[in-house]
Amino acid sequence: MNEPPRPDGMADPAPEIAAANEERYRLISSVATDYVFSSALAPDGALILQWVAGAFEKITGYTFAEYVARGGWRAAVHPDDLAQDDRDLATLRANRDLRSELRTLAKDGRVVWVEVAAHPVWDESRNRLVGIYGAVKDVTRRKQAEAESQATTDTLNAFVDSVPAFGAFVDADERYRFVNRYHENWFKDSRRHFIGRRLEEVHRPSTYAIMRPYSRRALAGETVRYEHEMTGRDGQYYCFDVQYVPRRASDGTVLGYFSLVFDVTERVLRDRQLLRTQRLESVGRLAGGIAHDLNNILSPVLMGADLLLDLVQDPNGRNLLDMIKSSAQRGGAILRQLLMFGRGEGESHVALDLEPLIRDMLKIAAETFPKNVSVRSRVEPGLPAVLGNVTHLHQVLMNLCINARDAMPGGGRLTLDARAETVEPEQVNAGGAQTAGPHAVLEVADTGTGIPHEILDKIFDPFFSTKPVGQGTGLGLSTVLGIVRRHRGFIRVDSRPGAGTRFRIYLPAAPAEVPAVAVESAAAPPPGQGEGILVVDDEAAARDVVRQILSQHGYRVETAASGEEALALYDRDPARIQLVVTDLMMPGMDGTALLRHLRQTAPQLRAVAMTGGLSRAEMAQALEADSAEFLLKPFDAAVLLETVRRALRA
């Protein structure tokens, strides 16, 4: 049917307008990043695309006809997002607007993220959905950027969580805004426990009091670093290296600070132990020098008392000399003890009688412990010898006795007992014993404060201490345990708060065929036969009293005050000298250099080395001669004469 002509005779402009509109649509579509659509709901419930406008082909890669022929929207949804599409359609069927994001597949296989905004077309008469219209926008780039950002965030979070330190961000109100996994592990609580809470709400008042001034400095824009020492909730000592780094806005305003806290407890304790070790080494060197000088002073006193005993017949006078000799011997024993603990001995184990060890410890306790601590001892007859190192076993008793003393600040009773006990085979391993059979048991008991049950199993841990920071190393009992285990023994502990503590040290008995080390009888050695002896000592009193004792017992004696003088005397007439008795620690040419020189020129010459500042092992090492004869100052006349006789007969 033809349209009637226009009355004005002009041509109809509709074709030109339609062409212009189509061109405008084409231009808009070429630059659009989304498209609009309208769909109708088929009787079977499927959505049928009616029309589209915008960047449809740019987003899908399909023409309208191709898209419809392929199956429409449902066929374009990514298989993994079909469930999301079902939920979206359910929203529209409930007559609600939809805004959703999901993945679609373009014609060339690309995955395209789209944002869908749709409005339901509702048939009020039948109360159901009959169609939808809306817009679809390509958000692939944004989703990719979000994914990359999230990946970066996840990587950073994983990195921060992997750092073995407390990592956190604290805002300008001192509220936690982020904490890492280390916080969760330390506090045994989730991150939600921290986020949004102030420092003073999370930490103990004593801890926050330390943190507060440094936190305020960081919020004022200062980078701060400090060490924080504390006692943890488990009762142990901790030290932390704390660093606060301010975070600023673009205008310089401080938004808060990053907190990084490293647990440096192990390093601090190791450094302190190293410092203590260095101090002990210094004390050991100092002890050696002091012992050398004091032993040189005590030696003539001790030997002079022996000389006078042969001359004095008055009972009172002899008693006085006995007292002088006893005091000198006691002083020498104390000095040997000082050297033993200041410098140590070798690792060799020999068969030892434990009773003298206990006597020495009793003497030290009686002389150094407070008078309100009474010391008792009981050693059962028939106590077996043990294979051990006397220095280390001294250290075991010393550590246990000092701990007992510290546990009795108001006084009490310290008991040292020793007895024999048989360890049954079933106690090996399960009971802590390393070997079955006869054992010697050393028991150290006190009436002090006792040890709480909850920490009884921790007392042998390295660096664990119940004493305040700075008053205990936490190494005493761990050292005791290590020494006892090296002696193939084990330890039992019984303790109750307020009822004292009892340590029992089990040490395997030495085999019967190994004789125990004992002091030889002090029978008078036979007199000399005129053998020539050269005595070398820079201490005139010690040199003179040795000369007198040897001369009175049948030896020809010459003396020298230095190594150089001794060499000159020997070189004048080597045949006159059969034995050199020399102090090792002298100015100029010391005894070690003298004996080395003499061994080169006269290897047959006998020698005895004296010292007041070295152990036997140290003297043997210095002389490079394990078989040399040694005299540890102070010594009495009998020991001097016996050593000289043994050296001449070697």
**Average pLDDT for 442-453:** 87
- Mean pLDDT computed over every residue of the chain: 82
Determine, yes or no, domain membership for 153. no
Q: Which alpha helices (DSSP H) does 469-590 contain, by range?
A: 476-486, 540-552, 563-572
Angle at 611 between CA 607 and CA 615, to 5 degrees: 105
Whichever domain contains 120, its CATH number is: 3.30.450.20
Q: Are residues 367 and 510 in the same domain?
A: yes
Determine, yes or no, domain membership for 294. no
Number of independent structural domains in the chain: 4
Q: Give DSSP secondary structure letters for 157-168.
A: HHHHHHSSSEEE
Q: Are residues 392 and 508 in the same domain?
A: yes
> With 60 as the cut, is the pLDDT of residue 142 above it?
yes
What tens digit of pLDDT does each residue of 619-648 get?
Answer: 666 566 544 688 888 888 888 999 999 888
Residue with more model confidence, 185 or 532: 532
Determine, yes or no, domain membership for 291. no
Q: Are residues 391 and 511 in the same domain?
A: yes
All residues at 6 or more sequence positions from 111 whose CB lies less than 8 Å from its CB, including other chains: 78, 103, 104, 105, 140
Q: Are residues 85 and 179 in the same domain?
A: no
3-state helix/strand/coil string of 96-137: CCEEEEEEEECCCCCEEEEEEEEEEEEECCCCEEEEEEEEEE
pLDDT at 139: 93
Distance between CA 259 and CA 261 in Å, rounded? 6
Tell the residue number behind the tokens 């132990």, with chain if given.
Answer: 273
Q: Are residues 169 and 74 in the same domain?
A: no
Distance between CA 22 and CA 27 in Å, rounded? 9
| Residue that finishes a domain, picked among 516, 546, 567 | 516
Determine, yes or no, domain membership for 234. yes
Report residue 443's pLDDT band, with 50, 70 and 90 as the boundaries.
very high
| Residue that finishes a domain, picked among 263, 290, 321 | 263
> With 70 as the cut, is the pLDDT of residue 19 above it?
no
User: What order of strands is seen across the sheet that includes strand 166-171?
Assistant: 176-179, 166-171, 254-263, 237-248, 224-231
Distance between CA 304 and CA 228 in Å, rounded? 60
Q: Cis before residue 634, ω within 30 degrees of 0?
A: yes
For the chain, helix, strand, coil in percent to 5 are 45, 25, 30
CB burial string 189-213: b at 16+ within 10 A, e below: eeeebbeeeebeebbeeeebebbee
Residue with more model confidence, 127 or 303: 127
Least reliable range by pLDDT among 94-103, 377-386, 474-483: 474-483
All residues at 6 or more sequence positions from 330 whose CB lies less than 8 Å from its CB, including other chains: 363
- DSSP 3-state of 349: coil
> With 70 as the cut, is the pLDDT of residue 316 above it?
yes
Determine, yes or no, domain membership for 406. yes
Q: Are residues 468 and 555 in the same domain?
A: no
Determine, yes or no, domain membership for 592. yes
Determine, yes or no, domain membership for 339. no
User: What order of strands is seen across the sheet that includes strand 532-536?
Assistant: 556-560, 532-536, 579-583, 606-611, 629-632
Q: Are residues 384 and 449 in the same domain?
A: yes
Whichever domain contains 464, its CATH number is: 3.30.565.10
Q: Are residues 477 and 366 in the same domain?
A: yes
Q: Are residues 634 and 556 in the same domain?
A: yes
**Average pLDDT for 456-474:** 56
- Residue ranges making up the domain that contains 126: 16-144
Q: Are residues 176 and 233 in the same domain?
A: yes
pLDDT at 518: 47
Distance between CA 444 and CA 505 in Å, rounded? 8
Determine, yes or no, domain membership for 509. yes
| Residue that finishes a domain, picked among 488, 516, 544 | 516
Distance between CA 539 and CA 611 in Å, rounded? 12
Report residue 226's pLDDT band, with 50, 70 and 90 as the boundaries.
very high
Whichever domain contains 629, its CATH number is: 3.40.50.2300
Least reliable range by pLDDT among 352-356, 457-461, 564-568, 570-574: 457-461
Angle at 496 between CA 495 and CA 502, to 5 degrees: 25
Q: Are residues 140 and 174 in the same domain?
A: no
Q: Are residues 181 and 105 in the same domain?
A: no
Residue with more model confidence, 128 or 164: 128
